[in-house]
Structure 1
Amino acid sequence: MCPNTLSDRTRGISINESIERYLQDKGKGRGGDGGNYRRNAARELERFTQWATGDRGRSEWAGIVPDDIDRDPNFEDLDERVFRTYARYLGGDRALKQNTIHTYYHYISAWCGWCANEGYLEGHYAWRASSMAPLPEDDGRKPGDQQIWTPEQRHTLTRYVDDRVNDAIETYRALSDDVDSLDRQRARYMILKAARDRALVFVIAYTAVRVGEILRDPNDPRRRGIQWGEVSLDDGSMDVYRKKQQWDVASLPEPVIAPLRSYQTLMDPPTVQWPVFPTFDQRTLATLVRDELGEQGAIDDYRDEYARDFLLALDEDIHPPSITTDGARSILQRLSEAAEVDIEHPKHDYLAPHGGRRGMGEILVRGFGYTVAARYLDNSEKMIRKRYSHIEADELGALATEAINKIDCI
């Protein structure tokens, strides 16, 4: 495999060493030694490391380390092709069902995402389309197997992002009058970032929109992320580009209005063309600012007046790009971990965006039935009945129990 351009700090770290740290982070209890997720992830990561070293009972497979090198696999050996080959390896095991293959692969993918966040890898290689292409169609997965945010999880996450904004505001207000201007800017920057994250969490938790309808898709210029001009807080609505390839109006329920209004006031976007959920990535913003202001000269001196390039872009009305759908997943991973949300799921160790949509669907189906839920979720009633068939099964089971009890009492 071709080596990636890792730093000297991470290049030689063995895969096994990172796995121990990952499992400790994801485990429950003192020392991170417990929990179902840790146990299941450890099993699949052991399978992966055995495969990576060529120790899976296949004489024709020598592992991912080049033949002329004698050592255990490390991060220098990992790239997209490794995960694509592993996906093909799992798919070739005829003893595994389609949904089981996906479950096993997602344990590896979660570890890969953690490695990217920790700086061991340059990107989330396992999550890329080319890596996952060999996986079989997941036709056997039951709707109940898909992640659905529970009321407790939703409450824990939304309460955390609320507290985070309030803490950032209090920190800013506590600054003395003679504090350095750059320190004051840094405190303001933390408020804006926390407010953006809170607004994103509330939109995902309560609107049931698909993240691809509100955020940027690098492969589709039509999906550049919603802008403030497409949000009407007074009407409780926003214009989104739907999965069916057309613009439509999505509802903003009451719990979403206050976080969005507060965020808009704090951000004070210079124009309605500003993205609602802009990126805060420093490298992206630095390049953008240099490109936009380069002709003015002395740009570095001007940048030195700002603690963050984002604040400079805000003052100069330089439109940053919206965060991507992958960016939203990274934000939710970070927030789920910081909020210590209790999650037991085979595919995700964080509250994934689609789980927020399905959680809202669950509320609507149970509260108002399939027809209303289908309208809110922008889907057919037939599809909603299929996706939430476990609710109907629960209801029918309760009716059957009631009928049995009536007969037994005769």
Structure 2
Amino acid sequence: MPDRALSTPLDDSFERYLQDKGKGRGGDGGNYRRNAARELKRFAEWAAGDRGDNDWTGIVPNDVDREPTFDDLDERVFREYARHLGGNRGLKQNTVQTYYRYISAWCGWCVNEGYLEAHYAQRASAMAPLPEDDGRKPGDQQAWTSEQRHALTRHVDERARDAVEVYTTLPEDTDPLDKQRARYEALKAARDRALVFVLAYTAVRVGELLRDPNDPRRRGVRWEDLSLDDGSMDVYRKKQQWDAASLPDPVISPLRSYWKLMEPPTERWPVFPTFDQRTLAELVQEELAERGERPEAITERREEYARDLLLALDENIRPPSITTDGARSILQRLSETAEIDIDHPKHDYLAPHGGRRGMGEVLVRAFGYTVAARYLDNSEEMVRERYSHIEAGELGDVATEALNEIEPRTQG
């Protein structure tokens, strides 16, 4: 191996690695890239002695004044880092495993690229301090129960019906701005209802439905992606390709009434646009300025509207979709106002992935693993693993029935 590679600082390899692992043009997007960048930064700081215990000075010999290079890496370094991750940071065992895998993947890439001569991170001695993985993904176990799903959908349905009724029954002589405010509240309630119903019944991943700032290909579904007559919706799947997802009957009515209320100027409008006032204010001002409007005229135009969203609708200024984090904030707010009883170690609200898992429970119990796998866009093997508790319960019932049939009953 060239001495030049061994003397290369560790962080000189990070950007190339992240580009290779990133998504989109130039490898600049994707959740994996973001998470890997975070863990590589932590590893580099630890290697330099900036994130260890008080007596930790890093992997460079004490009598040498330079930053860590590949020449400093061996299996003992990765063993020490595994011990550091599993030490006193309060991380769950699965999280420790996940963080280490990011560093291990980078190490394997470095071998292929000629920075290292061996995959030290995968050696048994390096991985020995890691805690055992119990097979669960941290934070990915919540599933909406039937009671929770019905409580949340009933709550958002009532809110939307009330808001729409207020707007549509206003007297004709209502002040225009007051009428706009009522329409805005109706639109917001209708959007929230449609979002909740889609998350509750389609089992579509929230990252396939909404905008991901770290992946430019995930811009959020648009009205052109929906076919309400056919009951389908085109989404960009986790497997990196477009595919049709089902829109079951409970979802159609909320989406259709929401579309009629919004009347989007084009089919390219997002189904779930952001309602963030700061974002919309900046967007409207920038777009009108690009169209040649003077600042004074823009101010006057905005003053004619109670909200910039309504101006954007009239002027066909397309806003961005809400983000996946935005959906979580919406569900936190709605879970609280609906006063839903939630008992979960990580989430005190109905999280988006819980809607998908809850629908998976329903499908497995009703139609089995094969049908559920098709609906969830997963392999049957993965669905069996995720919902193994259902099969275990069913086998327990079979065992009980067998015992009742074969074992002689003791007489009292």
Q: Which of 119, 136, 140 is equivalent to 2:134?
A: 140
Question: 1:397 — aligned with what?
Answer: 396
Deviation, 1:138, is: 9.4
Q: When the two structures are superposed, what TM-score results if normalisation uses the length of structure 2? A: 0.67
* Residue 296 (str. 1) matches residue 296 (str. 2): no
SS in 1 for 2:216: strand
Map of 2:149 onto structure 1: 154
Distance (whole Å) between structure 2 residues aligned to residue 342 and residue 221 of structure 1? 36
Q: Which residue of 1 aligns with 2:270?
A: 275
SS of residue in 1 equivalent to 2:339: coil
Do structure 1's residue 199 and structure 2's residue 194 form an aligned pair? yes
Does residue 225 of structure 2 align to residue 226 of structure 1? Answer: no
Preserved contact between residue 203 and residue 357 of structure 2 (Cα < 8 Å):
yes
Match of residue 190 from structure 1? 185
Q: Which residue of 2 aligns with 1:257?
A: 252
Residue identity in the other structure for 2:237: R
Cα deviations by residue, 1:80-112 (Å, 9 ceiling, x for unpaired): xxxxxxxx998423997515989xxxxxxxxxx
Query: Who is 1:117 aligned against?
Result: none
Alignment map for 1:20-169 (pairs within 5 Å): 91-93=86-88, 98-99=93-94, 139-142=133-136, 146-169=141-164
Give the direction of change, closer, same or farther, for the CA distance of 1:200–1:59 in structure 2 (3 Å limit): closer
Alignment of 1:342-357 (within 5 A): 342-357=341-356
Unaligned ranges ≥5, structure 2: 1-51, 56-82, 98-129
2:337 alignment partner in structure 1:
338
The answer to whether the 8 Å contact 2:274/2:319 transfers is yes
Taking only the aligned residue pairs, the percentage that are identical comes to: 73
Tell me, which stretches of 5 or more residues in structure 1 are unaligned? 1-57, 62-87, 103-135
More deviation, 400-409/366-375: 400-409
**Residue 375 (1) aligns with residue 374 (2):** yes
Higher mean C-alpha deviation, range 197-206 or range 163-172: 163-172
CA–CA separation in structure 2 for the residues paired with 1:354 and 1:239: 19
Deviation of 1:173 after TM superposition, in Å, equals 3.5
Deviation at 1:142, TM superposition (A): 4.1
Which range is displaced more, 250-259 or 164-173?
A: 164-173
RMSD, aligned CA: 2.5
Inter-partner Cα distance in structure 2 for 1:358 and 1:137: 27
Provide the aligned length of Structure 1 versus Structure 2: 294
Q: Distance in 2 between matches of 1:242 and 1:137?
A: 32
SS at match of 1:239: strand
Q: Cα distance, 1:331 vs. partner?
A: 0.5
Distance 1:277 1:244 in 2: 23
Residue 177 of structure 1: how far off its partner (Å): 2.5
- In 2 relative to 1, CA 248–59 (structure 1 residues): closer, same or farther, beyond 3 Å? closer
TM-score, L = length of structure 1 = 0.68
**Poorly superposed stretches of 4+, deviation over 3 Å:** 58-61, 88-91, 93-97, 99-102, 136-139, 141-145
Shift of 1:213: 0.6
**Aligned-pair distance for 1:152?**
0.1
- Whether 1:307 aligns to 2:306 is yes
Deviations 1:291-341 (A, max 9, x none): 111221210000000000000000000000000000000001100111011
Per the alignment, in what secondary structure is the counterpart of residue 218 of structure 2? strand
Conserved 8 A contact 2:281-2:308? yes
Q: Computing the radius of gyration over CA atoms, which structure comes out larger, 1 or 2?
A: 2
- Answering whether residue 177 of structure 2 is matched by residue 177 of structure 1, we say no
Superposition deviation, residue 403 in structure 1 = 1.2
Amino acid at match of 1:296: E
